Structure 1
Amino acid sequence: MISRAFRPFRALRASFRTLAFLVLAAIAAPAAQADAILHAFNWRYADVQARADQIRDAGYRIVLVSPAYKSEGSAWWARYQPQDFRLIHNPLGDTTAFRNMVTALQQRGIRVYADIVMNHMANEAFKRSDLNYPGSAVLSTYAGNATYYNGIRLFGDLRNNVLSGNDFGPARCIVDYNNVWEVQNYRLCGGSGDAGLPDLVGNSWVVAQQQQYLQALKNLGVKGFRIDAAKHMPASFMNAVLTPTIKSGMHVFGEVITGGGAGNGEYDRFLAPYLRDTDHAAYDFPLHNQLRSAFGFGGRMSQLVDPLAVGQALQPSRAITFTITHDIPNNGGFRYLIMDPTDETLAYAYIFGRNGGVPMLYSDNNESGDNRWVNAWNRSDLKAMVRFHNTAQGTDQQVLASGDCHLIFRRGDRGIVAINKCGNSVAVPVNMNNSVLWWNTDYRDALDSMSVVRITNGTYTFNLPPRRARMWLR
């Protein structure tokens, strides 16, 4: 038997063979799909472009930007009320600014994902009672500066409306959010007499316009689509628009908000059918609920050992993992999903440390007033987590220990993640005799360089400080 003390040398020789294999595999295989996403929520396209070098250096390889089409109004929610798909013109920038942003990010190896709204158009009942979009006032603006607007046109004829009353469903508000038919065929309304967001139907004309819009974004270099309000559309509508041609080479995922995974009513009524009837990915709300439960009062970190096995996480290939999305802090009905700030940071260590899903980090301009997520993308601890994620990509995961307070797992032989959610320190002895982790080698914490793990015998005791995460890298 080879002595454990010489294990690093054996691993080193093996690594040369592995390296040769990986080089050949990299030539034949597509790029990894688990690169970290920066959700640059409500950022101006010019600001994203200006930060391109910093975004690259921070380790993000994907940037999700807010909906790009004709919309007006300074509030963040106005970006989710389209007036016209045929051009990009809104307070975040126009088609030229969007194209320049995509080019700048592409040059740095960063992919752009676009948030898209297929379900509805703008609520403009206070302006007009008809359903002709973009409407006579907007068409008049186009005509008044035809050279500019035609220069930023994506497709179509800007002299005419693109949608009419025949393209919308009944003017009825959703009342029963447990009724699948209502949720997918009636309007999202705000109450107090609000007329709601005019709900599009999946007729051949609507489908053709949305296909042209998505193809135009793809032609600009967009590599992924986030489907807003996917819960509110029949799968047949989404599948008609998102053809295999449009989806080729694209990463598509939908927003289907649920209160949990298998056994949860919203999951069973909406998310499970969405996953069954499309091939799209989705926000992993089941895992988010499991995170909240595990980190919450009375929860146990052992709940995070294998949430997929108990139906509380999506399949890794279809999961977008997160700790916060833009809807959670910005909509009163979802604010109960906000985690304690320290728990949120520990949860980020979990989703960036684990093997499975595509992790997304949210960073806004304080639209909610909480002042918690401004410049989150550039926080040193979160950037260190992204670095761990990038280093550990492609390695397997094995849980080494778990309990009420702690969870410790390895990522191949490259890294170790340890999380202690409790207010007291925890000492955890772990048998290392059958571990693939290297002995007599420093694993240094990406979050605190003073913390080092060095395994020298068959048992290693992990000393975990209270309310902290460790992410050691070899």
Structure 2
Amino acid sequence: MRRLAYTAAVLVLASSLLGVPTAAGAAPAGPKQVIANLFEWNWVSVASECTSFLGPRGYGYVQVSPPQEHVRGQEWWVAYQPVSYRIESRKGTRAQFASMVSTCHAAGVKVIVDAVVNHMANEDKTGPGWAGSAWSHYNYPGTYQAQDFHHCGRNGNDDIRNYGDRYEVQNCELVNLADLDTGASYARGRLAAYLNDLLSLGVDGFRMDASKHMPAADIANIKSRLSRSAYMVQEVIFGAGEPITPGEYTGNGDVHEFRYGKDLARMFRSERLAYLRDFGVAWGYLPSASAVVFTDNHDTQRDDPGVLTYRDNGIYALANAFMLAWPYGSPTVMSSYEFGNRDQGPPSNSAGLTNNATCFSGGWRCEHRWQVIANMVGFRNAVNGTSVVNWYDNGNNHIAFGRGTAGYLTINDEDGAINGRSYDSDLPAGRYCDVIHGERTGSTCTGPVITVGSGGWFTANVAAHDAVALHIGAKLP
């Protein structure tokens, strides 16, 4: 078992890996795949971030939290308990939401909505909803009544207990949340109407929450009712030996690959980075073209101690650097707020409205702005479409690989520095800004400059638990 804690020296290094990037220049060339999950940000803040950072930095998408009217309360999970489909929540009004979408589009960033389509609220809260709508369990006036929900008759309270039973998982209730009968035409039509309303406001796609709890055919039917094409990624958590598998849902669109973040954390924490040489499909994962990956998301950072989160500082930055450099799946970068207990909601005012997000202040951690992570988004865009070349490992925790002739990453997660080693990059000869430690600003770099020779070779010193990354977009004149 390798180290589980860092020395004081490594904590100093972690601080440098978390450095705040300087102002961005032009957006990187090439398709923009990376999703920034601005979890529980309000609409005014999302709009501002699209303009000031996400667009200039090359993020292709922003994922926003559920926008529909929800139960009242301070906990984060109230957003996942709808009481109507009015676009009115603690994150802002319908007009603010629409303005946010337009502003993000103007910045070159597409918008994915976290869509709660499996269920309505449970009995933890009482009405009215955030925007004043009356409701009670199984009765949402003007939207649903008791006949529109599953009542599975299991376990004395209709709740799911046995994840080995397909019927129970897809017809009983997830922690007492009123489970919609998504096999019925009325519920399908009503859900499609909600999604179509969001599409009318310019939304580009949906994260389909709790997809595992709906048959894939139900989601396919709802998708067929949409007014136009839209990107779709489905939340289907893999469970070993369970009858419902993520692969069932790939016909509808992309699927979250939950195994990825847990396995990546294990490699960095206690096993060997050398094992990552074939990371992806060879590990039993979904096909790369169907997978959306992440180091952590809002659920796993609260419920799964096996994943890396913002609290892991430098090692978290390095794991994200690997994710953004490695060609498997489409990456989502988490952007969190600090929390001291599982239920804690976002920074809010006394009325319950979510505060404007001010990065690195007031509880907002903003991992998407950490220097390593933000700069590796540019790396990802620069190497898009290239394959892995020139893999190297020392059999333990020093790895290196190129992406065609467009980029090269080496990670040293050993406890000691690796100095004076030469790397075979396939990069064109020239001077490159090391984007792990610096920013390219015009013809200069705020960090180390690495010279690549005519054969693609370069020599670098890599400190313990650190990395060096070069890409064609950071080549200096």
Structure 2 CA distance for aligned equivalents of residues 206 and 120 of structure 1: 10
The equivalent residue for 2:21 is none
The equivalent residue for 1:274 is 249
Shift, 1:200, TM fit: 0.7
Kept in 1: contact 2:88–2:130 (CA 8 A):
no
- Could you tell me which amino acid in structure 2 is paired with residue 75 of structure 1? E
The equivalent residue for 2:348 is none
Alignment of 1:336-415 (within 5 A): 336-338=306-308, 340-367=312-339, 374-402=365-393, 403-415=395-407
2:149 to 143, 152, 168: 168
- Could you tell me which amino acid in structure 1 is paired with residue 77 of structure 2? W
Alignment of 1:90-169 (within 5 A): 90-124=89-123, 127=126, 138=133, 161-169=142-150
Kept in 1: contact 2:195–2:226 (CA 8 A):
no
The equivalent residue for 1:186 is 172
Closer/same/farther in 2, CA of residues 396 and 136 from structure 1, 3 Å limit:
closer
Equivalent pairs counted in the alignment come to 401
Shift, 1:211, TM fit: 0.7
Closer/same/farther in 2, CA of residues 291 and 95 from structure 1, 3 Å limit:
same
Closer/same/farther in 2, CA of residues 368 and 180 from structure 1, 3 Å limit:
farther
The equivalent residue for 1:255 is 235
Shift, 1:427, TM fit: 5.8
Per-residue CA distance 1:76-130 (angstroms, 9 max, x = gap) = 1100001112x211111121111010011111111111000111101136538xx
Gaps (5+ residues) in structure 1? 1-25, 141-158, 190-195
Closer/same/farther in 2, CA of residues 399 and 225 from structure 1, 3 Å limit:
farther
Moved more, 99-108 or 301-310: 301-310
Closer/same/farther in 2, CA of residues 451 and 466 from structure 1, 3 Å limit:
farther
Structure 1 CA distance for aligned equivalents of residues 180 and 388 of structure 2: 44
Q: Would you say 1:217 and 2:216 are equivalent positions?
A: no
Structure 2 CA distance for aligned equivalents of residues 458 and 100 of structure 1: 47
Higher RCO (C-alpha under 8 Å, 6+ residues apart): 2
Kept in 1: contact 2:71–2:130 (CA 8 A):
no
Structure 2 CA distance for aligned equivalents of residues 326 and 136 of structure 1: 25
Gaps (5+ residues) in structure 2? 1-28, 152-156, 343-359, 438-446, 473-477
Closer/same/farther in 2, CA of residues 336 and 246 from structure 1, 3 Å limit:
farther
2:435 to 446, 465, 468: 446
The equivalent residue for 1:21 is none
- Could you tell me which amino acid in structure 2 is paired with residue 122 of structure 1? A
Closer/same/farther in 2, CA of residues 199 and 65 from structure 1, 3 Å limit:
same
The equivalent residue for 2:462 is 464
SS in 2 for 1:398: strand
Closer/same/farther in 2, CA of residues 258 and 462 from structure 1, 3 Å limit:
farther
Structure 2 CA distance for aligned equivalents of residues 365 and 430 of structure 1: 40
2:241 to 265, 268, 288: 265
Shift, 1:457, TM fit: 5.5
Shift, 1:61, TM fit: 2.2
Structure 2 CA distance for aligned equivalents of residues 109 and 204 of structure 1: 37
Kept in 2: contact 1:364–1:374 (CA 8 A):
yes
- Could you tell me which amino acid in structure 1 is paired with residue 377 of structure 2? V
Q: Which has the higher helix share?
A: 1
Structure 2 CA distance for aligned equivalents of residues 342 and 52 of structure 1: 25
Say which one has the larger Rg.
1
Kept in 2: contact 1:286–1:314 (CA 8 A):
no
Kept in 1: contact 2:450–2:460 (CA 8 A):
no
Kept in 2: contact 1:399–1:409 (CA 8 A):
yes
Kept in 2: contact 1:290–1:307 (CA 8 A):
no
The equivalent residue for 1:437 is 427
Shift, 1:204, TM fit: 0.6
Closer/same/farther in 2, CA of residues 459 and 107 from structure 1, 3 Å limit:
closer
SS in 1 for 2:306: helix
Percent of matched pairs sharing the same residue: 27
Kept in 2: contact 1:43–1:364 (CA 8 A):
no
Structure 1 CA distance for aligned equivalents of residues 386 and 204 of structure 2: 25
Shift, 1:233, TM fit: 1.3
Closer/same/farther in 2, CA of residues 110 and 426 from structure 1, 3 Å limit:
same
Q: Would you say 1:335 and 2:305 are equivalent positions?
A: yes
- Could you tell me which amino acid in structure 2 is paired with residue 274 of structure 1? Y
Structure 2 CA distance for aligned equivalents of residues 351 and 100 of structure 1: 32
The equivalent residue for 1:53 is 51
SS in 1 for 2:332: strand
Structure 1 CA distance for aligned equivalents of residues 131 and 254 of structure 2: 38
Closer/same/farther in 2, CA of residues 234 and 405 from structure 1, 3 Å limit:
same
Per-residue CA distance 1:317-370 (angstroms, 9 max, x = gap) = 21212111011223xx32333354332211111111122322111112324569
Shift, 1:288, TM fit: 1.9
